[in-house]
Amino acid sequence: ARAARLSAPLTPGALADGTPVPLLANLGSADAAGAALAAGAEGVGLFRTEFLFLDAATAPTVAEQQLEYGRLLQAFDGKKVVVRVLDAGADKPLAFLDDGHEDNPALGLRGIRALRAHEEILRDQLSALAAADAETNADLWVMAPMVSTVEEAEYFSALAHELGIRVAGVMVEVPSAALLADRILRASDFASIGTNDLTQYTLAADRLLGTVAALQSPWNPAVLRLIAEVGAAGRASGKPVGICGEAAADPLLAVVLVGLGATTLSMSPAAIADVRASLLRFDSAQAAALAEAALSADGAAEAHAAARAYADGIR
């Protein structure tokens, strides 16, 4: 029976009532595509492109990038692939993008801000992605990291569309973007919530600093309220709202996130099986009730306990 279960085809992510919740992979290189597909990934929800730029004295050429993006898109033929443009700065510094010392790099020239200051790098990357897309049959979406204003969302969307990207969106990982999610989504084709940075910026707790690690919980109802804001804006506009931070890999929190309005979940491939099994235990109304229980708590531990109690009660 165990062998049969292991070889059974992997079913797509869904709630108990059949509501689809596509389960996507977070990837850092096209080399990881095979393992992600074997783990049941229905596509890619976050392709981090920093590795192409790390350790490089200069940015990779359009041709070099096109080759790598082409490999990725080919591996996910017919499937959705969300690529994030370069997220440099803060915890991801790059030699050739060094704009001088910053006392607070997490609050500095990073993500879309750094790309705007070096627009040729962004233009090259978008052109390489559009060229790879034209040669392959995956469903390519491209998103910008660290967007904090509606104007940045408009800037990215206009530039991406101009350079041949069909679906252009933004990551919501700064509280200002979550609070204005309705307007951010008006300017974008989709949003994807990066819960790692969203938690860091909501709690004002450095994600790399062990002494404040206890504050770094996406279960904190302040973080959940911001996610709910984005989920509501997604429902009102009919535009997709994905989750691509670590929170999506927590099987119980994944259900809460769907209850808050997330339409897809992206995670490290190893987490997909457990999240799939967890989603199948709840229908849409129960996921919403689970989210409500977590939202009503005072803190992260209480939110987790409330969700756990609700889940145990319906088994």
- Is there binding between residue 111 and Mg ion (CB under 5 A)? no
Q: Could you tell which of ligand PEP, Mg ion, none binds residue 74, using a CB distance below 5 to 8 A set by kind?
A: none
**Is residue 244 at the binding interface for ligand PEP, with CB under 6 A as the rule?**
yes
For residue 31, count other CB atoms closer than 10 A to its CB: 13
Query: Within its chain, how far is the Cα of 4 from the centroid?
Result: 33
Unique residue bearing structure tokens 């009532």: 17
Q: Does 19 bind ligand PEP (CB under 6 A)?
A: no
Smallest gap from Cβ 194 to Mg ion, in A, equals: 4
Do residues 196 and 173 touch, judged by C-beta distance below 8 A? yes
Instruction: Verify binding: residue 246, Mg ion, rule CB under 5 A.
Output: no
Among 51-59, 121-129, 195-203, 267-275, the segment contacting ligand PEP (CB under 6 A) = 195-203
Counted residue by residue, the chain has a size of 315
Contact between 248 and 25 (Cβ < 8 Å): no
Per CB under 6 A, 245 contacts ligand PEP: yes
Provide the mask over 167-186, with x wherever binding to Mg ion is found by CB under 5 A and - wherever it is not: ------x-------------
Closer CB to Mg ion, 49 or 66, in the complex? 49
Neighbours of 66 (CB within 10 A): 21
Which residue, 157 or 192, is less far from ligand PEP as judged by CB? 192
176 lies in the binding site for ligand PEP (CB under 6 A): no
| 79 counts as binding ligand PEP under rule CB under 6 A | no
Does residue 194 touch Mg ion according to CB under 5 A?
yes
DSSP state, residue 102:
-
Q: How far apart are the C-alpha atoms of 153 and 190, rounded to whole Å? A: 11
Residues near 305 by Cβ (< 8 Å), separated by ≥ 6? 297
Burial of 1 (0-12, 13-18, 19+ CB in 10 A): exposed
Q: Could you tell me which stretch among 117-125, 176-184, 189-197, 299-307 binds ligand PEP (CB under 6 A)? A: 189-197
The answer to whether residue 195 forms part of the interface with ligand PEP (CB under 6 A) is yes
Is 197 a binding residue for Mg ion by CB under 5 A? The answer is yes
Determine the Cα–Cα distance for residues 256 and 292; give it in Å rounded to an integer. Answer: 8
**Closer CB to Mg ion, residue 207 or residue 304?**
207
Over its C-alpha atoms, the chain yields an Rg (Å, rounded) of 19
Asked whether position 133 contacts ligand PEP by CB under 6 A, the answer is no
Instruction: Give me the least distance between CB of 21 and ligand PEP, in Å please.
Output: 18
User: Does the footprint of Mg ion cover residue 124 (CB under 5 A)?
Assistant: no
Which of 283, 282, 287 minimizes the C-alpha distance to 260? 287
Q: What separation in angstroms does the CA of 201 have from each of 35, 93, 114, 117, 143?
A: 32, 18, 18, 22, 19
Q: Looking at 21, 37, 46, 297, which residue binds ligand PEP (CB under 6 A)?
A: 46
196 counts as binding ligand PEP under rule CB under 6 A: yes
Residues 6 or more apart whose CB falls under 8 angstroms from that of 178 comprise 172, 193, 198, 226, 227, 229, 230
In angstroms, what is the minimal distance from the CB of 294 to Mg ion? 22
Per-residue contact flags (x/-) with ligand PEP for residues 47 to 66, judged by CB under 6 A = -x------------------
238 C-beta neighbours (distance < 10 Å), count: 7
Stretch that binds ligand PEP, among 58-66, 68-76, 96-104, 193-201 (CB under 6 A): 193-201
Amino acid at 103: D
Provide the binding-site residues for ligand PEP, judged by CB under 6 A: 46, 48, 87, 173, 194-197, 244-245
Provide the binding-site residues for Mg ion, judged by CB under 5 A: 173, 194, 197
